[in-house]
Structure 1
C-alpha cells in the first residue's frame, strides 16, 4: 500500500470512528460507570469484534451475509435486541451512593471482563458493519499484491484509530459529567439518557436499511 493510499485510509478511519454509534455510547457509559482508565477494557472488546468483521470480509463470508436476507435479518434483530436490553437495564438501574474515593457510577459497576465482553457483542452484532467493511476495505486492497500484509495493515490502522478516538475523545468526553452524576438525581438522568440512546440506536439498526 502506497503512503498516499494509507493516508486516505487513515483519514477515512478517523471520520468513521468519530461518527456516533453504539460503540461510542457504550464507551461513554463505561467511562462514567467505571472511570476513564477502566473504560479501555470495553474499547478492547470492541476492537476484537472489528477484527472478526475484517476477517469475515477477507474470507468472503461478508458477501454471503450481505446477500442473504435471512442471515442479515437474524444478526440485525439480535444486535437490536441486545442494545435494547442494555438500554432498559441502564434506565432501570438504581443510583449508587457516591463515594468520593471511587468513580461515580451511572450503571451498575461491572468487571473488566464484563466490559470487554459487552463491548465485543455491541460491535459484533452489527451486520451493517460487515456490509460497510465489505464496501470500504476493497478500496484499499490491491488484488495484484499479497493479501495478508494488506489486511493486517488495514486492521492495524482501523483498530489504532478507533482506540484513540474512543478512549481520548468519547471516553474523555464523558468525564465532565462525573460531577453531575454525583447525585442520585443526576445518575437517574444520565441512566435515562444513555439508556434511551442505546434503544434509539437499536431502532435505527432495525428500521433503517
Structure 2
C-alpha cells in the first residue's frame, strides 16, 4: 500500500474512531465500572467484531446483506434490541453502598466484557455497509490482496484501540468520583442507559 494511501487510511480511521457511538459508550461504561485497565477486554471484543466485519466484506457476504432488505433489517433490529437491553439494564442497575463504591469495580469476568464488545459492534449493519463502501477505496485488486487487507485492518484496529483506551476509557476516569455516592451512580447509570437507547433509536432510523 503506497504511503500516501496509507496516510489517507490513517486519517480516516482517526476520524471514524473519534465519532461517538455504542462502542465508545460501552468503553466508558466498562472503564467506570471495572477500571481503566480492565476496560481493555471490552475494547478487544469490539476489535474482534471489526475484524469479522472486514472478513464478511472481503468474502462478499457484506454485499449480500446490503442488497437484501430482509437480512439487513434482521441485523438492524437485533442490534437495536441489544442496545436497548443494555440501556434498560443500566438504568435499572441498583447503586451500591458508599463504602463499596470506594472500590466501585464490579469484577465482571473478562470474557463477559469481551463478548459484549463483540456483539455491540457485530450487530451493527451500519458497520457492514460502511466497510462495504470504505474498503474498496484502500484495496487495489491488481496488487497482492492479503498484505493490503492486513495493513488495512491492522491500521483500523490499532487506531481504534488507542482512541478507545486512551481517550474514551481515560476520559471515564473523570466520572469515577461521581460514582462514589448512590445518587451519582444513579445519574451515571441512567445517563449511559439513555445513551445506549438513543444509539439504538438512530440505528432503527437508518435505512
* Both proteins in one fold, TM over 0.5: yes
Q: Which residue of structure 2 lines up, in the alignment, with residue 5 of structure 1?
A: 5
In structure 2, how many angstroms separate the alpha carbons of the residues matched to 1:123 and 1:75?
11
> How many angstroms does 1:208 deviate by?
2.6
Q: Which residue of structure 1 lines up, in the alignment, with residue 94 of structure 2?
A: 94
Q: Which residue of structure 2 lines up, in the alignment, with residue 155 of structure 1?
A: 153
SS at match of 1:179: helix
Q: Which residue of structure 2 lines up, in the alignment, with residue 119 of structure 1?
A: 117
**Deviation string for 1:83-120 (max 9, x for gaps)?**
00000000000012245796425xx6521110000000
Equivalent pair of 1:98/1:104 in contact (CA under 8 Å): no
> How many angstroms does 1:207 deviate by?
1.3
In structure 1, how many angstroms separate the alpha carbons of the residues matched to 2:126 and 2:41?
23
SS at match of 2:104: coil
Does residue 1:17 correspond to 2:17, yes or no? yes
**Deviation string for 1:119-159 (max 9, x for gaps)?**
00000000110000000010001111011111111010000
Q: Which residue of structure 2 lines up, in the alignment, with residue 184 of structure 1?
A: 182
SS at match of 1:161: helix
Question: Unaligned 5+ residue runs, structure 1?
Answer: none
In structure 1, how many angstroms separate the alpha carbons of the residues matched to 2:130 and 2:88?
28
Tell me the number of residue pairs that the alignment of Structure 1 and Structure 2 aligns: 207
Q: Which residue of structure 2 lines up, in the alignment, with residue 135 of structure 1?
A: 133
Does residue 1:78 correspond to 2:69, yes or no? no
In structure 1, how many angstroms separate the alpha carbons of the residues matched to 2:30 and 2:86?
12
Query: Cα RMSD (Å) of the superposition?
Result: 1.3
SS at match of 2:96: coil
Question: Unaligned 5+ residue runs, structure 2?
Answer: none
